Amino acid sequence: MKQRAFLCLLTALLISVSYASASGAALKTFYVAPNGNDAWSGAAATASGSDGPFATFEHARHAVREFKKTLGENASGEIVVSVASGVYEFGGPLELTGDDGGTGAVTVRWETNLDSPAKIVGGRYLKGVKKLEDESVLARLKEDVRDKIVAVDLKANGFDDLGTPAAGPELFFQGEPTRIARYPNEGFIKITELVREGTHETDIRGTKGIQEGKFFFAEDEPTTWDGEPDIWVDGYWFWDWSNQKQKVASIDAAAKQMTLEEPNHHYGYRVGQWFYAFNVLCELDAPGEYYIDREKGALYFYPPADWNEGDFLLTQANTLLNLKGASRFEWTGFDMLGARGTAIVGSGCQNVSLSNLNVSNCGGAGIYVDGVKCSVSGCELWNLGGSGITVSGGDRNQLIPGENVIQENYVHNYGRVQRMYAPGITTNGVGNRIAHNLVEDAPHMGMGFGGNDIVIEYNEISDVCQESNDAGAIYTGRNWTMRGNVLRGNYMHDITGFEGRGCVGMYLDDMFSSAAMEGNLYVNVTRASFIGGGRDCKIVDNVYINCKPALHIDARALGWCADHADGWIQEAKEKGTISGIKYDQPPYSERYPELASIFAEGKTPKAPEGNVISGNICIGGTWDVNKQGQWQGDSVEKAARPYLTFGKNYVADEGTDPGFVDPAHGDYRLKPDSELIAQGYKSLTDEPMGLTTERMRAKADAVRAKKAK
């Protein structure tokens, strides 16, 4: 025992010395360990075993607060909380406020060992798992799976709040997400006809007084669900980019007609759209599916592999870490999993750093922070029900930058529950930066942004928008005043939308203006660069490989989308603002003169004026101006063409090599002696696109290798 205690002490001292040498001397270090004791001083383990680490994060928080009271005004350095390896179950969030961060020249840092990190778990590992024996339940199941199902008493495991099938706890098995029993197991059911006032229809929009949530289907399976008490459906009811979960009111088996409970989908319903049913006990027929009987407080599961009792994790705590007004604070190295909602939530933060985290297996988002001079870096996030990372901040009225940074993160396999509008990475505000991240494998958006002077650069995005169309891998929209944004040096590939019907690469939707899309590489991306009626945008110096089409530019504010622009024009006349922004007064008039003069004589505010398309290289795919400079195709709307400035662009057939460095291995930079360089074209950046650190690239390689098996 003495030898073990000595080794623990030696390890703790080595960690402390390593930290001090890397980050400067620590003013004080408190230790936390699974075998600690809150009655101790929080010191490293001692050989005698009479003193040592704290047992809980809450007591370490208290110790930091008390130690800060002893510091003088001129103190500088770091207060460290060093957390040993092990599992820490959180029944609720660790709350950290302004009292828990640094002040002046003092920083508070919570850390763990990167090679063997502390694991913060917001769920419960289920106990008492056994073979299903309830005959009334077995009778509901298909005969060939009855001996494969296990059951567990959730009330005995401390679960009182089971929510609803649409917003309840989730089960993870051996570290991987499972799913509620559904039909079909893969793919969707299609709507064949709609019912409105007793007649069959094909297109019902959200009109008051109409029985919208009533439709016909062709499959036979739903007609066998008599007696199922709580069936839900999740569908893309009208648009390919808008899904909604709804409870089923009734199924007419003879007519193959389904009626949904209100509220109905606000866009309405349309023939040919798709949905699937879930929370259907009799469809518990595939490995990895589960069903929660909320009346009995029981969970039934079809294990996909041999199991041990510790293999079952059910989410419980809504949040793991809640930062309220924290400043000069660092949180680094932890594994965080099992939250029912968002793992980390920060509001009103300043100079907060979240780094080297592994955030996974959560029912909601990964990280949400609002503040200034905050950063999220070196993190991997996966198996999330919602979005990945959101960091926003800055004052749009005064154009004061937030100076937030999201960089060197790997976000993948997210949007499992919230299928639409849950991007891998998002920022809003002013003057924030997203750089050197890898985002992949998602049903909808890769990145989203809104605001001014946002920079999105040197990222890699692939295999997103898998379940949606009319969707952007990088998306923003509908604002004339959000200007000065730059999207450069990004690598986007293999993004073609649901059923291969096409989506969008960089999507400036509904008159979004003044964004520069420059020096990006697109490979196999439909509508790679998209200007939806906006103004003063640039599509310059990009490389498009087999993009069909490479461009989309329209004049929607002169047509079907005119009402939005008309509203902005009316607001400008009546209030002197556009979307609440004093667009023709400082700082906007100084920073964005094109916006300030949008209503000047000779201008056509609703037209896509000021857009420049020049210096691009398009190999294969389609481009709307041919080699002779003549218009072809319809990806650039005819009504938009008179307002555009088309410079020199290089267009060639698939397989053409105009002097790329190594196209066979995806290097589409131009050689210095390329003929295009001589003609004035610019090469793609030498700055690496995507992840750059060895640690993060190794993580991505491991995930991709596993996926390829």
Concatenated DSSP letters of 644-699? -EE---EEE-TT--SSEEEGGGTEEEEPTT-HHHHTTPPPPPSSPPS--SHHHHHH
Residues 6 or more apart whose Cβ sits within 8 Å of residue 485: 449, 451, 452, 453, 454, 455, 456, 476, 514, 515, 516
The answer as to whether 694 is a domain residue is: no
Among residues 83, 107, 142, the one where a domain terminates is: 83
Same domain, residue pair 520 and 609: yes
The answer as to whether 702 is a domain residue is: no
Q: Which has the closest alpha carbon to 165: 318, 280, 64?
A: 280
Encode burial over 325-350: b for 16+ CB neighbours within 10 A, e otherwise.
bbbbbbbbbbbbbbbbbbbbbbebbb
Same domain, residue pair 269 and 387: no
Residue 214 belongs to domain spanning: 189-278
pLDDT given for residue 438 in this prediction: 98
Same domain, residue pair 455 and 560: no
Does the N-terminal peptide bond of residue 263 adopt cis geometry, omega within 30 degrees of 0?
A: yes
The answer as to whether 177 is a domain residue is: yes
Same domain, residue pair 90 and 78: no
Listing DSSP states for 132-161 in one string gives ---HHHHTTS-GGGGGG-EEEETTTTT---
pLDDT given for residue 197 in this prediction: 56
Low-confidence residues in the chain, pLDDT < 70:
1-24, 196-211
The answer as to whether 707 is a domain residue is: no
Among residues 427, 459, 491, the one where a domain terminates is: 459
pLDDT given for residue 210 in this prediction: 43
pLDDT given for residue 22 in this prediction: 39
Among residues 262, 294, 313, the one where a domain terminates is: 313
CATH of the domain at 245: 2.40.30
Same domain, residue pair 106 and 217: no
Q: How many Cβ atoms from other residues are within 10 Å of residue 501's Cβ?
A: 12
pLDDT given for residue 199 in this prediction: 53
The answer as to whether 677 is a domain residue is: yes
In three-state form (DSSP H/G/I as H, E/B as E, the rest C), the secondary structure along 435-450 is ECCEEECCCCCCEEEE
**Could you give the number of structural domains in the chain?**
5
Residue listed under structure tokens 């567990």: 152
Same domain, residue pair 344 and 420: yes
Same domain, residue pair 564 and 478: yes
Residues 96-135: tens digit of each pLDDT: 999 999 999 999 999 999 999 999 999 999 999 999 999 9
Same domain, residue pair 174 and 307: yes
Same domain, residue pair 297 and 334: no
Q: Let me know the angle formed at the C-alpha of 386 by 384 and 392, rounded to the nearest 5 degrees.
A: 115
Distance CA 587, CA 593 (A): 10
The answer as to whether 532 is a domain residue is: yes
Q: How many Cβ atoms from other residues are within 10 Å of residue 544's Cβ?
A: 29
pLDDT given for residue 446 in this prediction: 96
pLDDT given for residue 2 in this prediction: 34
Residue 309, SS3 per DSSP? helix
Same domain, residue pair 175 and 197: no
Same domain, residue pair 289 and 152: yes
Encode burial over 7-46: b for 16+ CB neighbours within 10 A, e otherwise.
ebbeebeebbeebeeeeeebbbbbbbbeebbeebebebbe
Residue 516, SS3 per DSSP? strand
The DSSP output letter for 386 is S
Residues 6 or more apart whose Cβ sits within 8 Å of residue 603: 597, 609
Same domain, residue pair 668 and 528: yes
The answer as to whether 448 is a domain residue is: yes
The answer as to whether 701 is a domain residue is: no
The residue count for the chain: 709
Distance CA 318, CA 532 (A): 38
pLDDT given for residue 202 in this prediction: 56
The reported pTM is: 0.89
Structure tokens at 200: 């069959």
